[in-house]
Amino acid sequence: MGAKGDQVKGKVKEAAGSLTGDKDLESEGKADRRAGEAKEKLGHAKDKVEEVVDKAEDKVEEVVDKAKDALHRK
């Protein structure tokens, strides 16, 4: 299940536990919801890291191409 699914599942369990007075179910729901939130944040962080790596690769390629051009001109 994905991050959003875990959050929804957690909210449902949390609400059901709250309505029925089942503290264990409510706690389990909170844990599921927080796990989903953590997964979502981790996914965003991973996307940002990949973006930075892609930009760095592009810059390295630029520098290599410029170096090759400079060597061929001599």
Give residue 1's pLDDT.
79
User: Over the stretch 22-73, which tens digit does the pLDDT of each residue have?
Assistant: 999 999 999 999 999 999 999 999 999 999 999 999 999 999 999 998 888 8
Query: Is residue 74 pLDDT above 70, yes or no?
Result: no
C-alpha angle with apex 52: 47 to 55, nearest 5 degrees? 125
Give residue 73's pLDDT.
80
Mean pLDDT value across the chain: 95
- How do the domains of the chain map onto residue ranges? 3-73
**pTM summary value:** 0.70
C-alpha angle with apex 37: 26 to 11, nearest 5 degrees? 30
C-alpha angle with apex 66: 62 to 68, nearest 5 degrees? 115
Q: Hey, CA dihedral for 10, 13, 19, 22, is it positive or negative?
A: negative
